Chain A
């Protein structure tokens, strides 16, 4: 018998109108010293299973049937005193290290409290144990940092502290719910290595919950693929992800952007492929298409931006933060230019300066030969019409109280107020068609749409002014991989048909490889390397680019 065995687990969320079955007939088991990957898209029930094991389902979720057998205890049985397992036998860590730690307690306090909850130790012994744990998870200088607050640690260090907290009482099982999703790739590879080391050193059973196929294929010993609360397939990662037997797994695997080559389009399973953009030609009637000459559209020269911290009763020195230092590059008409870097590299700041949402500290930005940093009045308005932005978070970038038609019509009215009402209606229809949304969407509100659909609405809104340059700031990083594939296909089609130039900002290297012609690699606000995409991935020159590419999890089905 395996260490933890889940048999025929059923979990449902009763709502007023209907019973939502979140998990149906799920059975799997975990051994000690093994990493089991639970993989699936949002709504697949993977996190629900993780929480159910610890009896931490959100209201009104309920285990309807099945067993969760740990040695001779059934954790699914309401009679089991499940709180005595939390932390002691089973540790659980969450996705976002920024929010997993109590911000007003030092990490030492939190560790000691947890240790003393489970073990009979006095303050001194507990402290010793805590420092040893911090050492184990790779916190440098653990003793000195003991009384630091969570905000004084970087994201990766915080996730290490979180792992130390979960290991306080030497649990036998660690459930890691998307432990690296909020982290940069180089930090991600360190945390994954740490999980593997802990698994081996402590003979730990690890349940790794993630949407990231590449992470699973790198570290998991076995994988369970979930869809809509049911198990689709399970087995060794090489078999399941390499030669999937189920259609769903096949389509999931094919949506993952390959790391080792560039493909033309993502194959979308089930849907008719490559039907792309025959019907979206309607907006072309309004589009003043020009031949892309390959001349420079945007030229950034010695751009810098520093933020100085200010505020009442600031303690400490007011050293300005240099977010962008002396950055120069050029975007040619019709190309996709990628800005790649980890968090804090200044990539979003550069994008915001190019669309003039913030002002640069020094340097110049030329758009079609005009220095846009000095534009104002009508000239600025005309410039804004030619450059549009698609934001990362489709949930906060659409005004929830406006109908879709008003959201899309707003930029049209703003830039061309003389259009007839009926004409605008037609235009909105055409734009919706261009992003593959039905015309009936326009009478609805943003909350009625899924993340992918909302991102399509954002794109339609951006196209409304017939821009030349589309700035996409992490447009797919909040989306599931199959939706991401659709959105990336859409962007590629639109670019081809409409002759768009795209500035594509992302931390996700495989995505950038699929999307961009040329790529600038950023680190700490400065450019390390600018190269053609394939050249960069084949033979990166700068040491930081090499480091980034090495830490990228390779997905090789």
Chain B
């Protein structure tokens, strides 16, 4: 229910883009169009209808992924998005796997070895990860790996293979190579968050009675760290990681620009340049949809991870 409300709010926002950011007719037609023609176009497009009817139409269309045509490219927006979506999603998924995998592992490691030299190095480097803006890291990576070492491509997706409507770069060597730098750049920021979060959680959980009791029963350290402690630390991690995957999609704008990655963020930036409102509003709605979907998945994951949520709380204080 909440998600429907959120989506409607976002739809209202992106709808108002049409109406308040410049005149849509001006954006569509050339300068030589006469006033009569403009009025006629206005009528056929339904722009003279009351606002709530226009909004209703927008919502209905948006629900069918119909956002009209791009002003600049003269193609349906839904088609453009479908074309670009695979690139962005592959980038985001690759970098979330990197962020989660390394983040959780390094978080557990630094949580256990609080004072070790390696832990301090990891924490120091990860601090740099948050402090430096994404585009600086991206450019730095390009400079090191593409310009100096020349081992990885500096832009684009490499060769792609078409599977149905989905164009994937995961099946070719050049596609995979091209994925490394942008996904690493994108994941670094989130990885830092996850490392620090998991570390803090692990440190707290290692102080709890059930860990002490597990120790007292002679359970091995490995099982305590990766069985007992990690599973309990996952609950907040899932929350943060969920929100972060949403932000990854949003953050990918910068990374895609730096690496000239032909994804939706790149499309959006170009749309902003040309005030291409249908693309902008569609992008807005899409991002909101991603967030809502992820939140839904996170809620379900809670139930899988934490058995206490599955049944009603039974113990109440007298």
Query: Is A86 touching B231 in the complex (CB atoms < 8 A)?
Result: no
Name the CB-closest residue of B to A118. B218
Within 8 A of A (CB), among B195-246: 208-210, 212-220, 223, 227-228, 231-232
- Report B263-318 residues with CB < 8 Å from chain A CB: 299, 303, 305-308, 310-318
Find chain B residues with CB under 8 A from A438 CB. none
Q: Which A63-117 residues have C-beta < 8 A from chain B?
A: 83-88, 91-96, 99-106, 113-114, 117
A104 near B312: Cβ-Cβ < 8 Å: no
- Determine the residue in chain B with the shortest Cβ distance to A154: B315
The segment from A330-338, A345-353, A409-417 found at the interface with B is: A345-353
A38 in the interface (beta carbon within 8 A): no
Residues of A near B219 (CB, < 8 A) are 87, 113-114, 117
Q: Which residues of A contact B210 (CB under 8 A)?
A: 99-103
Q: Which A residues lie within 8 Å of B316 (CB)?
A: 307, 321, 323, 344
Answer whether residue A341 sits at the interface, using C-beta atoms and an 8 A cutoff. Answer: yes
Bound complex: CA of A168 vs CA of B218, how far in Å? Answer: 10
The interface size of chain B toward A, counting residues with CB under 8 Å, comes to 32
Which residues on B sit within 8 Å (CB–CB) of A100?
209-210, 213
**Measured CA separation A88–B216 after assembly (Å):** 10
Are B312 and A309 in contact, CB atoms less than 8 angstroms apart? Answer: yes
Number of A-B residue pairs at CB separation under 8 A: 114
Interface size class of A (residues with CB under 8 A): 35 or more
Q: Which of A29-37, A266-274, A312-320 contacts B (4 or more CB under 8 A)?
A: A312-320
For A309, give its contact among B213, B308, B313 (CB under 8 Å): B313
Find residues 281-318 in chain A having any chain B CB closer than 8 Å to their own CB: 307, 309, 312-316
Query: Any chain B CB within 8 A of the CB of A198?
Result: no
Most A CB contacts (10 A, CB to CB) among B210, B306, B317, B318 go to B318
Alpha-carbon separation in the docked complex, A344 to B316 (Å): 6
Chain A: CB-nearest residue to B216? A92
One digit per residue, 1 when the CB lies within 8 angstroms of any chain A CB and 0 when it does not, for chain B 167-205 equals 000000000000000000000000000000000000000
Chain A neighbourhood of B318, CB < 8 A = 323, 341-349, 522
Q: Return chain B residues, CB-CB under 8 Å to A347.
A: 318
The answer to whether A166 has its CB under 8 Å from any CB of chain B is: yes
- Residues in A whose Cβ lies below 8 Å from that of B215: 56, 86
Q: Tell me whether A151 and B208 are in contact in the complex, defined as CB-CB below 8 angstroms, given that A103-B232, A118-B218 are known contacts.
A: no
- Cross-chain contact A94 with B209 (CB below 8 angstroms): yes
Complex interface: chain B residues within 8 A of A315 (CB): 310-311
Indicate whether A105 sits within 8 Å of B313 (C-beta atoms), given known contacts A323-B318, A341-B318.
no
Taking CB atoms, residues of chain A closer than 8 Å to B231 are 102, 104-105
Report the Cα distance A196→B210, complex, angstroms. 25
Residues of B within 8 A of A149 (CB): 307-308
Rounded to whole angstroms, the CA-CA distance of A168 and B216 in the bound complex is 12
Closest to B232 in A: A104
Are B308 and A102 within 8 A (Cβ)?
no
Contact A151 B216 (CB under 8 A): no
Say yes or no for A169: interface residue by CB 8 A criterion: yes
Q: When chains A and B are docked, how far (Å) is the Cα of A165 from the Cα of B209?
A: 14
Nearest residue, chain B, Cβ from A345: B318
Contact A96 B209 (CB under 8 A): yes
Instruction: Point out which of B219, B232, B303, B305 has the most chain A C-beta atoms below 10 A from its C-beta.
Output: B219
In the assembly, what is the distance between CA of A106 and CA of B318, in Å?
A: 26
**Is A247 positioned at the interface, with any CB of B under 8 Å from its CB?**
no
Which interface residue of B228, B232, B307 has the most chain A CB atoms within 10 A?
B307
> In the bound complex, how far is the Cα of B218 from the Cα of A85, in angstroms?
7
A498 near B: Cβ within 8 Å? no
Smallest CB–CB gap between A506 and chain B, Å? 12
In the complex, whether A407 has a CB less than 8 A from a CB of chain B is no
CB distance A86 to B317 under 8 Å? no
CB neighbours of A105 from chain B (8 A): 227-228, 231
Complex A-B, nearest 4 residue pairs according to Cβ-Cβ distance, in ascending order = A87-B218, A92-B216, A86-B218, A87-B217
10 contacts between A and B (CB under 8 A): A85-B218, A102-B214, A103-B232, A113-B227, A117-B218, A149-B308, A152-B314, A342-B318, A343-B318, A348-B318
Chain A interface residues (CB < 8 Å from chain B): 54, 56, 83-88, 91-96, 99-106, 113-114, 117-118, 149, 151-152, 154-155, 162, 165-166, 168-169, 307, 309, 312-316, 321, 323, 341-349, 522
8 additional A-B pairs beyond A88-B218, A113-B227, A344-B315, beta carbons within 8 Å, are A91-B216, A93-B213, A94-B212, A99-B208, A102-B232, A117-B219, A323-B316, A342-B318
